[in-house]
């Protein structure tokens, strides 16, 4: 009888070691979250955009955005700072700019599997949208993401995301719509960067909330790269907590975006 219980104890111990070891290997070795967007990503996307300037854009121009009116200065006399277009010989930025192919929107959530911390993230390049510039101000802006197109390094995670968590059959898209103008204060020179705060309506899982986000815009010839991240608490948007089985997540995450704009 003692031998019998000893065998059971050994079996349980081996199972525990297997589970713990497997969890560690998954969290620290197998799971490969993309690094957060960085300067190298911005540079690569701007370089790719400027090699295709003049090609037709597949993005659609949004017309539903309504913000406080801003007087538009004619392109020939648009106000410029010492860092702006007039200092570099580049043309005015006034007008409509469409999101180009290759732009990305992603989610990032901290998770734990049996006590081992890791990060879950997925990204989509199925994005449409536009912005309208007048002088140093963005008067309108919006982008829409196809939620069924998010992909991570785990097929099981993607299925959970599409079905149980985001219910993309019922809520196929998510949107951000600017609700107040963004004044960058200066039009960046070629290669230059400016920062500002954007306020708008974020719609996720059928729920809309006003959010404020810090954005960075970098210019490269006739293309702009706009980047930032938006913190999201799941309960605010009636999104079920993504925790499943041995995998537990925090009750919040962030949306990260890297959007390339070229003239319409």
Both 225 and 213 in one domain: the answer is yes
Give the CATH number for residue 156.
2.40.128.110
Report pLDDT digits (tens) over 182-239.
999 888 888 899 999 999 999 999 999 999 999 999 998 789 999 999 999 999 999 9
% of the chain beyond a pLDDT of 70: 69
Both 79 and 7 in one domain: the answer is no
Rg of the chain (C-alpha set): 23
pTM above 0.85, yes or no: no
**Which residues form the domain of 86?**
33-263
Confidence class of residue 25 from pLDDT cuts 50, 70 and 90?
very low
Both 94 and 8 in one domain: the answer is no
Both 95 and 126 in one domain: the answer is yes
Both 6 and 107 in one domain: the answer is no
Both 246 and 193 in one domain: the answer is yes
Number of domains in the chain: 2
Query: With 70 as the cut, is the pLDDT of residue 154 above it?
Result: yes
Both 21 and 115 in one domain: the answer is no
The 8 Å CB, 24+ separation contacts for 90-93 are 90/189, 90/190, 90/221, 90/222, 91/222, 93/133, 93/187, 93/224
Which of 123, 119, 97, 57 lies closest to 257 in space, CA to CA?
123
Both 91 and 136 in one domain: the answer is yes
Higher pLDDT pick, 141 / 85:
141
Both 39 and 50 in one domain: the answer is yes
Both 159 and 81 in one domain: the answer is yes
Query: With 70 as the cut, is the pLDDT of residue 75 above it?
Result: no
Least confident window among 77-86, 126-135, 219-228, 239-248: 77-86
Kindly list the distances between the CA atom of residue 241 and the CA atoms of 30, 35, 103, 148, 256, in Å, as whole numbers in the listed order.
23, 23, 27, 18, 19
């Amino acid at each position: 009888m003692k031998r019998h219980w000893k065998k059971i104890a050994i079996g349980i111990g081996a199972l525990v070691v297997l589970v713990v070891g497997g969890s560690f290997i998954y969290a620290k070795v197998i799971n490969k979250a993309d690094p957060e967007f960085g300067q190298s990503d911005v540079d690569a996307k701007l370089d790719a955009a400027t090699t295709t300037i003049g090609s037709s854009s597949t993005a659609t121009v949004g017309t539903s955005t309504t913000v406080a009116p801003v007087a538009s200065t004619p392109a020939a006399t648009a106000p410029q700072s010492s860092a702006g277009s007039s200092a570099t010989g580049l043309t005015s930025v006034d007008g409509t700019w469409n999101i180009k192919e290759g732009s990305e929107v992603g989610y990032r959530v901290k998770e734990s599997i049996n006590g081992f911390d890791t990060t879950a993230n997925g990204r989509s390049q199925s994005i449409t949208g536009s912005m309208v510039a007048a002088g140093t101000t963005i008067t309108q802006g919006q982008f829409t993401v196809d939620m069924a197109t998010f992909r991570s390094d785990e097929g099981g995670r993607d299925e959970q995301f599409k079905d149980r968590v985001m219910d993309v059959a019922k809520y196929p898209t998510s949107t951000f719509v600017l609700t107040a103008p963004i004044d960058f204060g200066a039009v960046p020179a070629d290669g230059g960067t400016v920062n500002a705060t954007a306020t708008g309506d974020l719609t996720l899982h059928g729920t809309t909330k006003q959010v404020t986000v810090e954005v960075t815009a970098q210019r490269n010839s006739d293309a702009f790269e706009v980047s930032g991240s938006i913190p999201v608490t799941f309960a605010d948007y009636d999104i079920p907590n993504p925790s499943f089985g041995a995998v537990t997540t925090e009750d919040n995450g962030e949306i990260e975006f890297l959007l390339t704009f070229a003239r319409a």
